[in-house]
Structure 1
Amino acid sequence: MKVFKNKFAQYVDLADDAWSPLTKLDKKDGIFDAGEDLIVAGEDANEVFILQSGWALRYRLLEDGRRQIVNFMLPGDVFDLQSLADLKADHTVTAITECEVSVIPSKPFIAMLGQSSRLAAAFWWAAVQEESILREQIVRIGRRSARERIGHMLLELHRRYVGATGQETDQLVMPVTRSDIADALGLTPVHVSRTMSAMRRSGLISEERGSIILEDRERLARLSHFDTDYLHLKKLSLITPDRRSPPKRNGLLRVDAD
């Protein structure tokens, strides 16, 4: 659970004992091979997944076979919380690499959230962050140039990867193909290759086998209009639960200003 806790620690302060209800859940730990589906569109969604290691991708497939990658799943990510609403999956999640995953049935997970307000707030914050990332994906595809799209996505993935692993590095181990990048950003593989070649020549990135090195993160962020605000990394403090009765005035709940 280390990467999972690392991810949450970016935006929620939780005391160690707050994790106890989660660790006590009857969950299954399993391995999914590269190319294997974790979630399949149209099937019942009744489990929550926690990605412990490896990379996966979430996508929608059109009738003619065209694919739109919605986002990439990194270590520490939680999905699919739509299972809490007892819905059918409207997308597919496929392992890019070998993935170690913890699988929790949705009903015990919901019961746990009902018993722990601190964990409920933490998972709510994770859902807020994911929704914001999906909104940014719309802006990225709809309004940014090819170089801005690629640079912005690389910086986002880097920030998420560093947050989950706790390893501050300019190297992003990124096991995705040019076709994956193209399907995520609404480009062609050829356009992706040409744009990334230009980014290498300009000193923004370099590439090693299976990795991308962000050679000049600050310049890349400026050129890509990248700002971490949409990742909502401002922390919630949930270390000490407030057991006091909320103040009232004239029979109404009063909200005190910070």
Structure 2
Amino acid sequence: MHAFRNRLAQYSDIPDKVWNVIQDIGTKPGHFKAGADIIRVGEITDSLFIISTGWATRFRTLEDGRRQIVNFMLPGDIFDLQALARMEADHSVSALTDVSILSISPQKFIRKMRESGEVSSAFWWAAVQEESILREQAVRLGRRSARERIGHLLLELQRRMNGALGSNAEQLSLPLTRVDLADALGLTPVHVSRTMSAMRSAGLIEEHRGLVLIRDRQRLARLSHFDPDYLHLRKLDYSRFSEDTPDVPSKVV
């Protein structure tokens, strides 16, 4: 739960009493080897999951075998909230690396949400961030060039991993193949390779044995039109709101 707490702490300071409620939510550990399915399309999921360690991917596969990766799930991410409604999964989730997860019973989850408004707000923020990431993925695919897509995704993954680890590293451990990146970005593996080679030559990134070093974050952000506001990483100050204040914030900042 360490990565999950780091992630939630980006949204709001989590008092120990609130964190104790979250820890007491009742989780069951599990482990999946790289390549294993965590959720299969068409299944009715009976648990929510929090990733403790490792990377997973959410994707759809067409009838002819083509795959579209919708997003990558990192330590501290929670999925799939559709378990609350016992709906059939309309996508699949697979482990990209060895993955350790914590599963949560929907009944226990709902009970804790009812007991604590602060806990509910923390999980609500996690859902808001995931929705924002999915919206940005649509923009990435529809309007950005190949270099912009790759640079934007690298900056997003770096920012999210730093949040999960509580760090500010320029280096990103990237367990993704060129095929993974191509399936996420609507490109071919060859196009991904050529574009990343050009990015290395331009001094934007370095690669070495599964590690990507972003050499100039500001320059890459400018070239990729990367604005981290959609990740909602600036903390919400609860003290601005009180029971006597009817206004609801229009945007989480």
Q: Tell me if TM exceeds 0.5.
A: yes
Aligned residues between the structures: 249
8 Å CA contact 1:14–1:238 kept in 2: the answer is no
Per the alignment, residue 250 of structure 1 pairs with: none
Per the alignment, residue 92 of structure 2 pairs with: 92
Per the alignment, residue 230 of structure 2 pairs with: 230
> Distance in 1 between the 2:209 and 2:46 partners?
37
CA 1:181–1:257 in 2, change beyond 3 Å: closer, same or farther?
closer
CA 1:257–1:43 in 2, change beyond 3 Å: closer, same or farther?
closer
Per the alignment, residue 207 of structure 2 pairs with: 207
Structure 2 counterparts to residues 37-186 of structure 1, below 5 A: 37-186=37-186
**Higher deviation after alignment, 24-33 or 98-107:** 24-33
Flag the structure with larger Rg: 1
AA aligned opposite 1:173:
S
Per the alignment, residue 246 of structure 2 pairs with: 255
**Which string of whole-angstrom CA distances, capped at 9 and with x for unpartnered residues, describes residues 163-191 of structure 1?**
11012211100101000000000000000
> Distance in 2 between the 1:235 and 1:2 partners?
18
Per the alignment, residue 194 of structure 2 pairs with: 194
> Distance in 2 between the 1:16 and 1:26 partners?
17
Structure 1 residue 256, shift from structure 2 partner: 5.9
CA 1:170–1:44 in 2, change beyond 3 Å: closer, same or farther?
same
> Distance in 1 between the 2:60 and 2:248 partners?
44
Secondary structure of 1:13 counterpart: coil
**Which string of whole-angstrom CA distances, capped at 9 and with x for unpartnered residues, describes residues 61-92 of structure 1?**
11111000000000111111121122111111
> Distance in 2 between the 1:47 and 1:227 partners?
33
AA aligned opposite 1:230:
Y
- Among all aligned residue pairs of Structure 1 and Structure 2, give the percentage whose two residues are the same amino acid: 58
> Distance in 2 between the 1:192 and 1:60 partners?
20
Per the alignment, residue 21 of structure 2 pairs with: 21
**Which ranges of structure 2 fall in alignment gaps of 5 or more residues?**
none
> Distance in 2 between the 1:36 and 1:257 partners?
42
AA aligned opposite 1:111:
R
**Which string of whole-angstrom CA distances, capped at 9 and with x for unpartnered residues, describes residues 218-249 of structure 1?**
1100000000111112322459x96xxx44xx
User: Structure 2-normalised TM-score?
Assistant: 0.94
8 Å CA contact 1:54–1:100 kept in 2: the answer is yes
CA 1:256–1:57 in 2, change beyond 3 Å: closer, same or farther?
closer
> Distance in 2 between the 1:171 and 1:20 partners?
32
AA aligned opposite 1:6:
N
Structure 1 residue 27, shift from structure 2 partner: 1.9
Structure 1 residue 51, shift from structure 2 partner: 0.3
> Distance in 2 between the 1:98 and 1:70 partners?
20
RMSD: 1.8
